[in-house]
Structure 1
């Protein structure tokens, strides 16, 4: 039985999710269309929206890739940060997206002149907005709806731009997260649009490479791309917020994965496996399978057998799905 969308996201299971939105009929509405018209500039629209929303929502962007007929984002829900925001901060952020209500507008102008009942009503609205600012559905809505309206206005037409609602996958452990990020970052390579990760336009890997090249210390989280969730190295006791891998290790891993997938490069690269594979306890066969078939082979939950069992319980599944390791055996 199909589960309702609200039941597909549970912070008890994981704060990490992979989301995909596709253009209607998978047409190249963000690339070179069949009629010879180029819509490549729309990829920049989507990339700009992803970066802007990351600064407003309490949702971190781990990876993204904007293609000609779809886009991917890997997101991290930061509930703790949202709960620490004051009412003024929540209103300030929400008003960057919407006008708010007459009461919240008055609250911003002069809350001292408001009655207590009005302030209580504002507080109720603030808590509703606080939840929305940690909601993946609202994040994706604020990418898809403005893009569709802008594209339809440009084309002088009406109708659907996106193929239904977005697809979501829960990433239950570190292996699933890193492999999904590599899958997303290598999308343009697999599609034949680009030859190198750093040359792939409208991707997080290109943004990370640009920042790393310009930084004095690329692995320092303060010198990484601000709009992306930082990579903070090996797990340790005083762990700051970030992805548990060094940036240089991740870039090496993505580059190796992109080259090893090519049939004519398999034998030449296998002897030079990056240390990150041992640290994450990833078998090369499992890693290559994940990085090439992440979206098509796996459904709503991705992780090891133990992580899948825990995630299935948190999300209310009656049966535990097969793990990636079980599928490969």
Structure 2
């Protein structure tokens, strides 16, 4: 069966959740310790994390979970066309110009101005296309991958690909699949024997949430969503030497808004709020993420406990019994608690080659809605679900 096209897995005009994988070229350790030369490129993981944080502040895409590894990254993303529809034309314009200014920054060091925003707002056809792109996961990944490749190539004084190709993705069709996939993503460093617990797994969403609970704060990488006055921009270009403008831009890039935030504040909240209607956009107003909607009907304390318990089940076939409360949570989602460890640790066995993730009944329903007979892997996943 041929691999389904991305257009068959998610639609920018429809809210959907997608597990995304992006690999380095030849699966080389271009963001870790190079096995051949011994050079440590681990600092590039923070490049990737900060770029994700920046994009989360402008795109109508929620980052639910992520893990940056030495030669690939995992993300669980949820596009939000409903949030994008709630933004004003001016908000859409400045968000787009922050990521795609449409000019070479080395030649024009001024930031987007009020005049730039007004000109873009005047082109209604162009603005409608931009609004669609801001809720498109493909454009989010494009804006993430391309700058990282340029930065790495400039540092290595070389040309060519940094990433293997376009990202691969899986549609997540129910909460059971989302919980299992999120746990799999958060535990990637533990599965790769790079850490012994999620508490010691930097560059993962699980680590960010744990550190935030302990009060950890970081300088925000969110874009400044205020255009500068046109006259002020012209004055800066005329009166300030280019070297000073460049230094000023580099300094601002480290913390564009000058704010400090909780380490997980740019991520989507984990628990759903049952008192809020499902179709309510819950637009985020502080400028660090697109919305305040959670994604699991599980409290953070229970998720953290299950995450730590699952991380300890390192020996295949020797998993201890799932604690009663956690077992009840899994069973409420239709997951066989006795198979939970196997589902997360042997994810590739069940969902490694599938285009959709979820319980068998949900996969069957989604296949029928998509005009398919079934999804690949639908039968093998049945063993893990009640």
TM-score (normalizing by structure 2): 0.73
Deviations 1:135-170 (A, max 9, x none): 111111111111111111111111111111111000
Q: What are the equivalent positions in structure 2 for 1:1-329 lying under 5 Å apart?
A: 1-10=2-11, 15-33=16-34, 34-100=36-102, 108-109=114-115, 122-214=123-215, 225-233=264-272, 235=274, 238=277, 241-243=293-295, 244-263=297-316, 266-267=319-320, 269-270=321-322, 274=326, 275-295=328-348, 297-298=350-351, 299-321=354-376, 322-323=378-379, 325-326=381-382
Q: 2: distance between equivalents of 1:183 and 1:166?
A: 18
> Does the 8 A contact of 2:4 with 2:355 survive in 1?
no
> Does the 8 A contact of 1:253 with 1:276 survive in 2?
no
Q: 2: distance between equivalents of 1:17 and 1:75?
A: 5
Q: 2: distance between equivalents of 1:328 and 1:261?
A: 18
SS state of the match for residue 147, structure 1? helix
**Post-superposition offset of 1:263:** 4.8
SS state of the match for residue 306, structure 1? helix
Q: 1: distance between equivalents of 2:365 and 2:12?
A: 12
Deviations 1:236-266 (A, max 9, x none): 5646621222111111111111112435962
Looking at secondary structure, tell me which structure has more helix per residue: 1
> Does the 8 A contact of 1:17 with 1:170 survive in 2?
yes
SS state of the match for residue 30, structure 2? coil
SS state of the match for residue 19, structure 2? strand
**Post-superposition offset of 1:78:** 1.3
Q: 2: distance between equivalents of 1:176 and 1:161?
A: 30
Deviations 1:88-132 (A, max 9, x none): 11001001101149xxx99941888x7xxx966x11111111111
Q: 2: distance between equivalents of 1:196 and 1:326?
A: 28
Deviations 1:174-217 (A, max 9, x none): 000011000000000011111110110111111000111229xx
SS state of the match for residue 99, structure 1? coil
Which residue in the other structure is 2:225 paired with? none
Structure 1 unmatched ranges of 5 or more: 216-221
Cα RMSD after superposing both structures: 2.9
> CA 1:290–1:10 in structure 2 vs 1: closer, same or farther (change >3 Å)?
farther
